[in-house]
Protein backbone atom coordinates (compact mmCIF):
# COMPACT_ATOMS: atom_id res chain seq x y z
CA UNK A 1 0.00 0.00 0.00
CA UNK A 2 2.74 2.49 0.94
CA UNK A 3 4.74 1.78 -2.23
CA UNK A 4 1.66 2.12 -4.44
CA UNK A 5 0.71 5.39 -2.74
CA UNK A 6 4.22 6.69 -3.33
CA UNK A 7 4.30 5.59 -6.98
CA UNK A 8 0.85 7.14 -7.57
CA UNK A 9 2.65 10.49 -7.50
CA UNK A 10 3.78 9.75 -11.06
CA UNK A 11 0.13 9.61 -12.16
CA UNK A 12 -1.11 12.43 -9.94
CA UNK A 13 1.26 15.02 -11.44
CA UNK A 14 -0.15 14.34 -14.91
CA UNK A 15 -3.80 14.54 -13.74
CA UNK A 16 -4.49 10.79 -13.49
CA UNK A 17 -6.16 9.99 -10.16
CA UNK A 18 -7.40 6.41 -10.61
CA UNK A 19 -6.01 2.97 -11.50
CA UNK A 20 -2.74 3.47 -9.60
CA UNK A 21 -2.29 -0.13 -8.49
CA UNK A 22 -3.93 -3.25 -7.10
CA UNK A 23 -4.17 -2.03 -3.48
CA UNK A 24 -4.13 1.77 -3.83
CA UNK A 25 -6.54 2.21 -6.73
CA UNK A 26 -7.27 5.95 -6.59
CA UNK A 27 -6.01 9.14 -4.95
CA UNK A 28 -7.25 9.80 -1.43
CA UNK A 29 -8.02 13.49 -2.07
CA UNK A 30 -11.52 14.64 -2.80
CA UNK A 31 -12.87 16.13 -6.00
CA UNK A 32 -10.46 18.62 -7.58
CA UNK A 33 -11.31 21.97 -9.11
CA UNK A 34 -12.24 21.96 -12.76
CA UNK A 35 -9.38 22.74 -15.16
CA UNK A 36 -10.69 26.22 -15.97
CA UNK A 37 -10.71 27.22 -12.24
CA UNK A 38 -7.36 25.64 -11.43
CA UNK A 39 -4.41 28.05 -11.24
CA UNK A 40 -1.72 25.33 -11.38
CA UNK A 41 -1.18 23.40 -14.59
CA UNK A 42 -0.65 19.64 -14.71
CA UNK A 43 2.59 18.27 -16.15
CA UNK A 44 2.42 16.56 -19.54
CA UNK A 45 3.21 12.81 -19.38
CA UNK A 46 6.09 13.00 -21.86
CA UNK A 47 7.53 16.34 -20.65
CA UNK A 48 11.11 16.53 -19.35
CA UNK A 49 10.07 17.55 -15.78
CA UNK A 50 7.55 14.68 -15.55
CA UNK A 51 10.09 12.15 -16.85
CA UNK A 52 12.79 13.40 -14.45
CA UNK A 53 10.44 13.27 -11.47
CA UNK A 54 9.26 9.81 -12.54
CA UNK A 55 12.88 8.62 -12.64
CA UNK A 56 13.51 9.86 -9.07
CA UNK A 57 10.22 8.62 -7.60
CA UNK A 58 10.54 5.17 -9.22
CA UNK A 59 14.10 4.30 -8.17
CA UNK A 60 14.04 0.72 -6.86
CA UNK A 61 16.16 1.46 -3.78
CA UNK A 62 14.01 4.49 -2.94
CA UNK A 63 10.73 2.55 -3.31
CA UNK A 64 12.17 -0.25 -1.15
CA UNK A 65 12.96 2.31 1.57
CA UNK A 66 9.53 3.91 1.29
CA UNK A 67 7.95 0.48 1.94
CA UNK A 68 9.76 0.37 5.30
CA UNK A 69 8.41 3.72 6.45
CA UNK A 70 5.90 3.58 9.27
CA UNK A 71 2.53 5.15 8.43
CA UNK A 72 1.57 5.72 12.05
CA UNK A 73 4.72 5.74 14.17
CA UNK A 74 7.42 8.38 14.19
CA UNK A 75 11.02 7.69 15.12
CA UNK A 76 11.36 10.35 17.83
CA UNK A 77 11.48 7.78 20.66
CA UNK A 78 14.09 5.72 18.83
CA UNK A 79 16.19 8.83 18.18
CA UNK A 80 16.04 9.72 21.88
CA UNK A 81 17.13 6.19 22.76
CA UNK A 82 20.09 6.37 20.34
CA UNK A 83 21.18 9.73 21.74
CA UNK A 84 21.17 8.21 25.23
CA UNK A 85 23.19 5.24 23.96
CA UNK A 86 25.70 7.71 22.50
CA UNK A 87 25.79 9.57 25.81
CA UNK A 88 26.73 6.43 27.73
CA UNK A 89 28.95 5.12 24.92
CA UNK A 90 28.29 1.82 23.14
CA UNK A 91 30.14 -0.17 25.80
CA UNK A 92 27.51 0.84 28.36
CA UNK A 93 24.48 -0.30 26.35
CA UNK A 94 22.81 -1.95 29.34
CA UNK A 95 23.11 1.24 31.39
CA UNK A 96 21.72 3.26 28.49
CA UNK A 97 18.76 0.86 28.22
CA UNK A 98 18.06 1.17 31.96
CA UNK A 99 18.23 4.96 31.73
CA UNK A 100 15.94 5.09 28.69
CA UNK A 101 13.41 2.68 30.21
CA UNK A 102 13.25 4.76 33.38
CA UNK A 103 12.66 7.99 31.46
CA UNK A 104 10.43 6.76 28.62
CA UNK A 105 7.29 6.17 30.65
CA UNK A 106 7.02 9.67 32.11
CA UNK A 107 3.60 11.25 32.18
CA UNK A 108 2.52 14.56 30.68
CA UNK A 109 3.26 17.31 33.24
CA UNK A 110 0.42 19.45 34.53
CA UNK A 111 0.26 22.89 36.10
CA UNK A 112 -1.04 23.38 39.65
CA UNK A 113 -4.46 24.05 38.17
CA UNK A 114 -4.40 20.75 36.25
CA UNK A 115 -3.71 22.04 32.74
CA UNK A 116 -1.32 20.08 30.52
CA UNK A 117 2.05 21.79 30.02
CA UNK A 118 3.66 22.46 26.65
CA UNK A 119 6.81 24.22 25.49
CA UNK A 120 7.66 25.94 22.22
CA UNK A 121 11.05 25.13 20.63
CA UNK A 122 12.79 26.76 17.67
CA UNK A 123 14.94 24.06 16.01
CA UNK A 124 17.56 25.14 13.46
CA UNK A 125 16.03 22.84 10.84
CA UNK A 126 12.80 24.87 10.93
CA UNK A 127 14.70 28.07 9.99
CA UNK A 128 12.73 30.35 12.29
CA UNK A 129 9.71 28.08 12.54
CA UNK A 130 8.61 26.53 15.80
CA UNK A 131 7.66 23.13 17.21
CA UNK A 132 5.30 22.57 20.14
CA UNK A 133 6.32 19.76 22.49
CA UNK A 134 4.71 18.41 25.59
CA UNK A 135 6.49 18.81 28.93
CA UNK A 136 7.00 15.54 30.79
CA UNK A 137 7.16 15.04 34.53
CA UNK A 138 10.63 15.21 36.07
CA UNK A 139 12.93 12.27 35.38
CA UNK A 140 13.70 9.81 38.15
CA UNK A 141 16.87 7.82 38.61
CA UNK A 142 15.62 4.92 40.74
CA UNK A 143 17.66 2.44 38.71
CA UNK A 144 20.86 4.03 40.10
CA UNK A 145 19.78 3.29 43.67
CA UNK A 146 18.86 -0.28 42.71
CA UNK A 147 22.24 -0.80 40.99
CA UNK A 148 24.18 0.55 43.98
CA UNK A 149 22.17 -1.58 46.42
CA UNK A 150 22.74 -4.72 44.34
CA UNK A 151 26.46 -3.92 43.96
CA UNK A 152 26.87 -3.52 47.74
CA UNK A 153 24.96 -6.75 48.35
CA UNK A 154 27.20 -8.66 45.94
CA UNK A 155 30.34 -7.18 47.51
CA UNK A 156 29.22 -8.08 51.04
CA UNK A 157 28.44 -11.68 50.04
CA UNK A 158 31.82 -12.23 48.38
CA UNK A 159 34.15 -10.80 51.04
CA UNK A 160 35.68 -14.17 52.00
CA UNK A 161 35.60 -15.70 48.52
CA UNK A 162 38.29 -15.52 45.88
CA UNK A 163 37.69 -12.69 43.40
CA UNK A 164 36.32 -13.85 40.07
CA UNK A 165 38.72 -14.36 37.18
CA UNK A 166 39.20 -11.36 34.97
CA UNK A 167 40.13 -12.38 31.42
CA UNK A 168 43.34 -11.06 29.90
CA UNK A 169 42.99 -8.21 27.41
CA UNK A 170 42.55 -9.32 23.80
CA UNK A 171 45.79 -7.58 22.87
CA UNK A 172 47.73 -9.90 25.20
CA UNK A 173 47.33 -12.71 22.66
CA UNK A 174 49.57 -10.98 20.15
CA UNK A 175 53.33 -10.74 20.21
CA UNK A 176 54.46 -7.21 21.02
CA UNK A 177 57.12 -5.91 18.61
CA UNK A 178 60.22 -4.06 19.69
CA UNK A 179 59.39 -0.35 19.57
CA UNK A 180 62.58 0.63 17.70
CA UNK A 181 61.97 -2.01 15.02
CA UNK A 182 58.32 -0.94 14.64
CA UNK A 183 59.29 2.74 14.27
CA UNK A 184 62.03 1.89 11.76
CA UNK A 185 59.58 -0.16 9.68
CA UNK A 186 57.01 2.65 9.82
CA UNK A 187 59.51 5.30 8.73
CA UNK A 188 60.93 3.13 5.93
CA UNK A 189 57.44 2.60 4.42
CA UNK A 190 56.58 6.32 4.40
CA UNK A 191 59.96 7.66 3.29
CA UNK A 192 59.63 6.10 -0.18
Per-residue pLDDT tens over the stretch 82-129:
888 777 766 677 788 888 888 888 899 999 999 999 999 988 888 888
Question: Which domain covers residue 17, as residue numbers?
Answer: 2-67
With residue 172 as reference, give the H or E element that holds it: none
Task: Tell if the pTM clears 0.85, that is, is over it.
Answer: no
Measure the CA–CA gap between 159 and 150, rounded to whole angstroms. 15
Same-domain pairing of 6 and 61: yes
Per-residue pLDDT tens over the stretch 65-74:
888 776 666 6
Same-domain pairing of 51 and 10: yes
Q: Please, which residues have CB within 8 angstroms of residue 27's CB and are 6 or more apart in sequence? A: 8, 12, 17, 18, 20
Domain presence at residue 187: no
Please, which pLDDT band fits residue 137 given cuts at 50, 70 and 90?
A: very high
The pLDDT, as a whole number, for residue 135 is 92
Rg of the chain over CA atoms, in angstroms? Answer: 30
Measure the CA–CA gap between 175 and 142, rounded to whole angstroms. 46
Same-domain pairing of 138 and 115: yes
Domain presence at residue 170: no
Same-domain pairing of 90 and 133: no
DSSP-based three-state secondary structure for 118: strand
Number of domains in the chain: 3
The pLDDT, as a whole number, for residue 160 is 58
In this model, does residue 157 exceed pLDDT 70? yes
Same-domain pairing of 93 and 58: no
Domain presence at residue 95: yes
The pLDDT, as a whole number, for residue 120 is 92
Amino acid sequence: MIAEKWLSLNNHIINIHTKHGRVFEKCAHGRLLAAQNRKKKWLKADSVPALKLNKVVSQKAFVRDVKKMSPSQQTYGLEVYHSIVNQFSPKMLILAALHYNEKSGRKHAKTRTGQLQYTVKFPKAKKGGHVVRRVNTAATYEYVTELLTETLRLCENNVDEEPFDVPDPLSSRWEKPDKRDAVALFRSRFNH
